[in-house]
Amino acid sequence: MDKRIFTADGADVRADVFVCEKLSGKTRSAVKKLFEGGLVSINGKIAKPSQTVSVGDEIEVVLPEAVEYSAKPENIPIDIIYQDEDIAVVNKPQGMTVHLGNGNVDGTLVNALLYRLDSLSGINGVIRPGIVHRIDKDTSGLLVVAKNDRAHLSLSAQLAEKTCRRTYLALLEGNLKTDEGTVTTYIGRSPENRVKMAVVPPDKGKLAITDYSVETRYKGFTLCRFDLKTGRTHQIRVHAKYLGHPVVGDAVYGIKKQKFKLNGQLLHAFRLTFTHPSSGKEMTFEAPLPDYFTSVLNKLTKV
């Protein structure tokens, strides 16, 4: 186990807030579990989350060793729209997590890929074999999977060099004032909720750039296209909120009370363009909007 010891040198603050600030990589839920497990103490006594930390207090936090999962093949139907000896392109459904972690030990895209494909790259280890980039659990659409390490390195380089192009469609609340534009901010962990991402000062996050353009305007809603120039966690969802028009169905960054009965946000990765690792040819794939998405659009009135 990893033991951390801190000495408080600032104003009085709640113990859980103090620990969250010191363990910047931990979410609030993870910190809560540390307290529940009796792994946080103040001046030698087990601490409560609401306990006050004062100047001079010694706070000890014991971090359990991380559990290393090994993904196992599972016979889960998935939509593989293309594959060859180097890559596979998958249309991921809404509600499926990409890889193991954070309590997800089965039912992930990786579990399905291990069953369906004859090989996957090993660069990301036993938890994320083949995974070059991700999309959120409740976001649907395209992602490319590497079947060997050479392909993985090529695709990763394209993502880093921004030559791999990813385009999304999203239905937004309200109507955007402009037909197109670019959002340039810095995105990092929300200071209010460590589970969420947020637009933050430059020294607190990473550069995030998203181009957007209006596809269709509806009464009270906008169907918008987003082109990622960077790949930050929840980037489109955070930028949509930043524009004042969150993605419909987004329970984290959007409106809590939903007009439609949805199981997640109406955000779909519909186009993916990259250079094939072996042939060097540019390849573009598209995936149509899922039925639940088009069903909502059919209920709306165009303006």
Same domain, 214 and 155: no
In a domain, 208, yes or no: yes
CATH, residue 203: 3.30.2350.10
Under 8 Å CB-to-CB from 160, ≥6 apart: which residues? none
* Beta-bridge mates of residue 5: 60
Same domain, 156 and 96: yes
Q: pLDDT for 162-218, tens place per residue?
A: 899 999 999 999 999 999 999 999 999 888 887 899 999 999 899 999 999 999 999
Domain edge (last residue) among 161, 177, 207: 161
Q: CB-based burial of residue 218 (10 Å sphere; 0-12 exposed, 13-18 middle, 19+ buried)?
A: middle
Same domain, 191 and 145: no
Question: 92-106, 130-144, 222-236, 266-280 — which is least confidently predicted?
Answer: 92-106
In a domain, 29, yes or no: yes
Widest CA span in the chain: 65
This prediction has a pTM of 0.76
Q: What is the mean pLDDT of residues 3-27?
A: 87
In a domain, 280, yes or no: no
pLDDT at res. 31: 86
Q: How far apart are the first and last CA of the chain?
A: 60
Q: pLDDT for 73-88, tens place per residue?
A: 999 999 999 999 999 9
- Domain holding 41, by residue range, is 2-63
φ, ψ for residue 58 (rounded to 5)? -105, 120
Computed over every residue of the chain, the mean pLDDT equals: 90
Q: Work out whether the CA dihedral 42, 43, 46, 51 comes out positive or negative.
A: negative
In a domain, 91, yes or no: yes
Quick check: 226 pLDDT over 90? yes
Q: What is the mean pLDDT of residues 256-263?
A: 86
Domain edge (last residue) among 127, 161, 195: 161
pLDDT at res. 130: 85
Look-up of token digits 């990092």: 188
More confident residue, 260 or 99: 260
Quick check: 56 pLDDT over 80? yes
Same domain, 36 and 7: yes
Quick check: 122 pLDDT over 90? no
pLDDT at res. 236: 97
pLDDT at res. 29: 73
Same domain, 120 and 208: no
Same domain, 153 and 196: no
Q: pLDDT for 281-292, tens place per residue?
A: 999 999 999 999
pLDDT at res. 101: 67
Same domain, 51 and 101: no
Quick check: 67 pLDDT over 70? no
Same domain, 255 and 222: yes
Quick check: 280 pLDDT over 80? yes
In a domain, 119, yes or no: yes
**Ramachandran class of 56: left when φ > 0, alpha when ψ lies in -120 to 50, beta otherwise:** left
* Catalytic-labelled residue, pool 16, 57, 86, 136: 136
CATH, residue 45: 3.10.290.10
The domain total for the chain is 3
Domain edge (last residue) among 161, 185, 216: 161
pLDDT at res. 37: 76
pLDDT at res. 107: 83
φ, ψ for residue 85 (rounded to 5)? -75, -15
Helical H segments across 3-104, by residue range? 15-22, 28-36
Quick check: 68 pLDDT over 60? no
Under 8 Å CB-to-CB from 287, ≥6 apart: which residues? 79, 81, 91, 140, 141, 142, 268, 269, 270, 271
Q: What is the mean pLDDT of residues 115-122?
A: 89
Task: Place 241 in a pLDDT band, splitting at 50, 70 and 90.
Answer: very high
pLDDT at res. 62: 86
Same domain, 192 and 262: yes
Same domain, 261 and 179: yes
Tell me if residue 136 is catalytic. Answer: yes
In a domain, 297, yes or no: no
Quick check: 64 pLDDT over 90? no
Same domain, 181 and 256: yes
Tell me how far CA of residue 236 lies from CA of 215, 268, 274, in angstroms: 16, 11, 20
Task: Place 65 in a pLDDT band, splitting at 50, 70 and 90.
Answer: low
Quick check: 128 pLDDT over 90? no
Nearest to 128 by CA among 152, 158, 155: 152
In a domain, 15, yes or no: yes
In a domain, 274, yes or no: no
